Amino acid sequence: MSRHFLDSKISMNRGALSPGGLAPPHSHPRATESGMVIKGKLLVGFVTTDNVLYSKILTTGQMFVFPRGLVHFLLNVGEEKALTFTAFNGHLPGAVLHSTTLFATSYNTPNSKSSVD
């Protein structure tokens, strides 16, 4: 591994979710998270500082970005284990778990934009 990589202060993670599995609402106060769906079908979403929920179903090869500090989640909506590979632009991104009641809202389709006011 090159010294440049070690000095860049990034961190990476490989994630796995069983069918119906959830990475519950959480945020990273010190880093933006970007990732790719390696296998499977995931509903991913985040809530903006204006309380707007953005969500989309992603499949193998598609990417996502969760800006630093915004509440986000991942839900396996497929019939097989889903795998992700993520990177953070900080070596200590932190993780703050939020109550799942935060998302006690309804929306029309997984690819919709809706308010959570």
Binding residues: 13, 26, 28, 33, 72
56 beta partners: 44
- Rounded Cα distance between 112 and 114, Å, is 6
* Residue 101, helix vs strand vs coil: helix
Binding residues for Mn(2+): 26, 28, 33, 72
- Rounded Cα distance between 67 and 25, Å, is 14
Other CB atoms within a 10 A radius of the CB of residue 16 amount to 13
Binding residues for oxalate: 13, 28, 33
Other CB atoms within a 10 A radius of the CB of residue 102 amount to 13
Q: Where are the alpha helices (DSSP H) in 1-117?
A: 3-7
* Residue 33, helix vs strand vs coil: strand
